[in-house]
Amino acid sequence: MRAQERVADRYELTYPVGHGGMGEVWAGFDEKLDRPVAIKFLRQLTVPESERENAVERFMREARVTARLDHPGVPSVHDVGYHGDDIYLVMQLVPGMVLADLIAERGPLSVPWSAAIGAQICSVLAAAHVASLVHRDLKPQNLMVTPTGAVKVLDFGVAALLGPTDGPRLTATGHTLGTPTYMAPEQALSSVVGPRADLYALGCVLFEMLTGSPPYRADNPLGMLHRHLNDPVPSVAEHRAGVPDGLVRLVTRLLAKDPQHRPASAAEVYEILTPFGRVAPEIAADLAVAVADGQVVDPTMPYRYPFGPVPQKEPVPPTRRDVVPRLVPADLVQPPSFEELAEAQDRAWELAEQERFTQAAELLETALRPVGRGRAAKQPQMLELRLNLANLYVLAGAYREALPEFASLVVDLAERPMPDQELIWYCRQQAAMCQAELGEAGTALAEMRLLLAEQQGNLATDELLPIRQQIAILAAGVGEIAQAQLQLDELLQDVIRLHGLDSPLVSEIETLLSHLRRLDGGDGRGAPR
């Protein structure tokens, strides 16, 4: 493969991410959907002919297995196909740092980090095991910590169905799939493995995060498998002081030789690990670490900001749309005619109906650019077009572009002889939601609360339900867990009173409350008592 090579007349390869004996992984660009992707190739001609059928089956199994796991901790699968003699799999491109590199750079990780990473892995394993899937190759090289602190479990290529007759065997004769350093004893014996084999591998990963080294070392794979089968289970406490006893006992249980002596499920392990992964914000600041691209990762972040995004302390630098330089004197710019603007708007709506929102917004922005921000931009038709443009930006997910549009609309609408207060309120609310999407959750929350206070005397209780829900979610996002719970409890009672128990909003609020209560360790901020 080479840079700028095109696959399926759609994906352009940009740079290699990794390679092995039988395949390559490239970063690429999806030209149709305007997004970065990862493209994984299986080079069939590099696989020995005797193993090719099994290798192809494992590769296709990875596509199917990963695609059916609808979980935020599993990269999304976008496409699969053939490129010449090679098979390719197009997936979500995951930013961040491989856990193996993080351990190599930092050495033993903090207890909160180790527990938070382990809990997120358990969340993925629990979903996989419910779907009757065992990963079978869990290891630090297959785990990513993203800049938001989320953990992604990669490479389900050797995943196997739990049922013995539910699919073709994936183990080639004479070969054991998996990685010896993290392989459960029963997997080393090539016997049928269940979910507890993944829990054993998780125990190895937790041991390595806490101590800096895997539980066993050997000079060759056979020696490693022998140690997993026969050596006494090592204790984390023998290699590192200060690890809580409960966490030490958990790792020991996970590394039990007999699968029946390990925890019963990934969900059980999740419940044990979660309290160890919660830290106060002031402590978390000391734990964060910058990765190669300068972004900061912190696996405990999802436990402090359950609904994200994370508030940013520094202002976001302006984009070209925040400050548009005039390359031509204003008096020489020919503004578009009403007919030209109407034609642009009609074409933009055609594109929007096809869900080509980015292209629609670009078309409308180009048409409006000569108008600038002068008196002409405040004419009724121009205000309508600008509002349409701002809404198109939101539909396209371009919140950085939408925010200044809504903010300027608020100012210009307020200057009209008879201001449309309802429209101004809408633009302020949309601007606040854009701020939240951009990570400025604290600022967005303050604005939403101000909007609610202003409208409580003007709007009926029913009309205020959506903004009250948004405020509660934002409060949870900045760590105000107790306040968010209180607001959701009050909101739930009002929804039941107004719409009854069968309202879809009742179920949605109850789900949010359940999630918050699981995260709340007792003091209302997500930190343990």
- Least confident span in 11-25, 43-57, 385-399: 43-57
- One domain, residues 232 and 132: yes
- One domain, residues 157 and 22: no
Q: Which two tokens stand for residue 179?
A: 């990685």
42 in a structural domain: yes
Confidence of residue 103 (pLDDT cuts 50, 70, 90): very high
Asked if 33 and 43 touch (Cβ cutoff 8 Å), the reply is no
**481 vs 474: CA distance, rounded Å:** 10
pLDDT higher than threshold 60 for residue 441: yes
pLDDT (0 to 100) of residue 471 = 93
Residue with tokens 């405040």: 378
The total of structural domains in the chain comes to 2
pLDDT higher than threshold 50 for residue 136: yes
Asked if 77 and 84 touch (Cβ cutoff 8 Å), the reply is no
Residues 6+ apart with CB under 8 A from 529: 521, 522, 523
pLDDT (0 to 100) of residue 380 = 87
Q: How many CB atoms lie within 10 A of CB 303?
A: 25
> Sign of the C-alpha dihedral, residues 74, 165, 201, 247?
positive
- One domain, residues 136 and 260: yes
pLDDT higher than threshold 70 for residue 46: no
**486 vs 524: CA distance, rounded Å:** 10
- One domain, residues 213 and 291: yes
**62 vs 512: CA distance, rounded Å:** 32
Confidence of residue 426 (pLDDT cuts 50, 70, 90): very high
Residue with tokens 């307020």: 414
422 in a structural domain: no
Confidence of residue 340 (pLDDT cuts 50, 70, 90): confident
59 or 408: which carries more pLDDT confidence? 408
Render pLDDT for 495-508 as a digit per residue (tens, 0 to 9).
999 999 999 999 99
CB pairs under 8 A, 24+ apart, for 522-527? 523/482, 524/480, 524/481, 524/482, 524/483, 524/485, 525/280, 525/304, 525/479, 525/480, 525/481, 525/482, 526/278, 526/303, 526/304, 526/306, 526/479, 526/481, 527/278, 527/279, 527/280, 527/304
- Residues 423, 426, 432: CA angle, nearest 5 degrees: 145
- One domain, residues 186 and 270: yes
105 in a structural domain: yes
- One domain, residues 103 and 79: no
- One domain, residues 104 and 234: yes
- One domain, residues 101 and 87: no
Q: How many CB atoms lie within 10 A of CB 379?
A: 13
489 in a structural domain: no
DSSP string, 343-385: HHHHHHHHHHHTT-HHHHHHHHHHHHGGGTTSGGGGSHHHHHH
Render pLDDT for 26-37 as a digit per residue (tens, 0 to 9).
998 888 887 889
283 in a structural domain: yes
Among 286, 304, 322, the domain boundary falls at 304
Q: Which two tokens stand for residue 529?
A: 């008592």
Residues 6+ apart with CB under 8 A from 285: none
Confidence of residue 167 (pLDDT cuts 50, 70, 90): very low
pLDDT (0 to 100) of residue 171 = 36
**319 vs 375: CA distance, rounded Å:** 24
pLDDT (0 to 100) of residue 166 = 35
Can you give the CATH number for the domain in which 20 is found? 3.30.200.20
pLDDT (0 to 100) of residue 323 = 44
Render pLDDT for 442-489 as a digit per residue (tens, 0 to 9).
889 999 999 999 988 777 888 899 999 999 998 888 888 889 999 999
Pairing of strands 23-30, 11-19: antiparallel
- One domain, residues 262 and 145: yes
Q: How many CB atoms lie within 10 A of CB 220?
A: 9
Per the structure, the complete domain to which residue 213 belongs is given by: 97-167+175-304
Render pLDDT for 343-371 as a digit per residue (tens, 0 to 9).
888 988 888 887 778 878 888 988 888 87
Residues 6+ apart with CB under 8 A from 71: 123, 124, 127, 128
Residue with tokens 């358990």: 122
- One domain, residues 243 and 224: yes
Can you give the CATH number for the domain in which 109 is found? 1.10.510.10
Q: How many CB atoms lie within 10 A of CB 370?
A: 14
pLDDT higher than threshold 80 for residue 246: yes
311 in a structural domain: no
Can you give the three-state secondary structure of 245-257, one letter per residue?
A: HHHHHHHHHHCCC
Rounded to the nearest 10 degrees, the angle between the axes of helix 504-519 and helix 465-477 is 20
**138 vs 131: CA distance, rounded Å:** 17
Asked if 319 and 328 touch (Cβ cutoff 8 Å), the reply is no
The highest-confidence range among 3-7, 15-19, 426-430, by mean pLDDT, is 426-430
Average pLDDT of the segment spanning 163-173: 35
**123 vs 109: CA distance, rounded Å:** 20
Among 92, 108, 141, the domain boundary falls at 92
371 in a structural domain: no
- One domain, residues 297 and 270: yes
pLDDT (0 to 100) of residue 87 = 87
**445 vs 464: CA distance, rounded Å:** 15
pLDDT (0 to 100) of residue 65 = 74
The closest of 301, 311, 289 to 519, measured between CA atoms, is 301
**232 vs 234: CA distance, rounded Å:** 6
219 in a structural domain: yes
The closest of 189, 74, 246, 169 to 197, measured between CA atoms, is 189
**125 vs 142: CA distance, rounded Å:** 13
Q: Any idea which residues carry the catalytic annotation?
A: 137
Strand-pairing partners, residue 11, are 7, 30
pTM for this model (two decimals): 0.61
- One domain, residues 267 and 122: yes
Among 304, 331, 362, the domain boundary falls at 304
